Amino acid sequence: MAIDVKMPNVGESVQEGVIHKWRVKAGDYVNRDDVLVELETDKATVEVVAESSGVIEIIKKQGETVAIGEVMAKIDNTAAAPAGKPAAAPSPAPQAVASTPSAQSVPVPPTPPAKASHDMPLSPAVRRMTEEHHVNPAAVTGTGKDGRLTKGDVIAHMEGGSHSASSVAPSAPAFAKPHTASGQRTERREPMTMLRRKIAERLVHAQETAAILTTFNEIDMSNVMRIRSDYKDKFKEKYGVGLGFMSFFIRAAVEALKAYPAVNGWIEGNEIVYHDYYDIGVAVSSNRGLVVPVIKDADRLSMAELEMSVADYGKRARDGKLSVDEMTGGTFTVSNGGVFGSLMATPILNPPQSGILGMHKIEERPVVVNGQIVIRPMMYVALSYDHRIIDGRESVGFLVKIKECIEDPTRILVGV
């Protein structure tokens, strides 16, 4: 019997995808839950796994566009596994076991203790990550349901161990090519990826549909830098992740959004939609383009949880492993161009949002403090906003609130 491998439904707004890379070859024997193909949509890269073991027949080639529900391959599940590659045992169905207990099944107590993470089955994505980075699952503490390992657990483990994400050399840009022979004038034409096409479409749409204006301020980073210096080692030891600037700015942004709710809203038709929750998008650069994963309910997260979320998203953005759900929503965005050395820029709105905060390079500059000229680490910050919903008073007040919270971080703790 042939099992169809179809383009999955990965989100309401996603209608098609491009086959980015086949992880198997035609005629290969695949086991159930093996990753077969990577699909690139206009939001994220999606992995499709085998629903059954068998020999695969590839129908759609790499680079082809496939619609939702379209057959990309078939798996002949009647084929025998080749010698040396036994078929994987079928995955247990927890619901079926729970509803039809056998005489040999072990009763489950009402509040079972958390199982060791190495006793729990790994998802395909987690299994792949542990294999690629040579991480022993038994050495990682799972925080998922019933003690299962999540990608965040593996990343946190690597951050705290020898496999630090910061020790991994960054990948060469996708457009990097060897120099041509002297005197040659060459050019190349390459099709835009779906993500790049979507980015271009959204940026043009933002410029055409919103009255975008940018206001600036500057922030003395002395106190935040002192806090990072004083507590970075203890923070890393306790939480397994570094203490960066992003968590401070996300918390400051939440406080500013509470004070100026229009910045956390957007326009729909003739109505203004105000959000009483704070889902903060974090702009992340990857070889595939700029992506904006969203930290949901950022106001409810601790500094450590914010830093872990940012580190997790950054790692998976570079690997192209963000899910569509993680890229959906967001009421406000924070972008840090300073990591690339940008001194000042005007960020573009991420529709339908009405505001985006731009962070920039920290640079020592002479400033006047209490009538004295002193050298301080300063950062320019920018707020681009939709002038249709946000007035100048609100935009300036918003940045002043950011400035107050960063220059006096105790305001973040007490919420003033």
Active site residues: 387, 391
Pairing relationship of beta strands 332-336 and 355-359 according to DSSP bridges: parallel
Q: Which residue pairs, CB below 8 angstroms and at least 24 apart, start in 61-67? A: 61/19, 62/19, 62/20, 62/21, 62/22, 63/18, 63/19, 64/18, 64/19, 65/16, 65/17, 65/18, 66/7, 66/16, 66/17, 66/18, 66/19, 66/39, 67/7, 67/15, 67/16
Q: In sequence order, what are the beta bridge partners of 54?
A: 30
The CA distance from 321 to 124, in Å, is 12
DSSP states along 310-343: HHHHHHHHHHT---TGGGS--SEEEEEGGGGT-S
- Kind plus residue range of the DSSP H or E element containing 41: none
- Up-side HSE of residue 158: CA atoms within 13 Å toward CB? 24
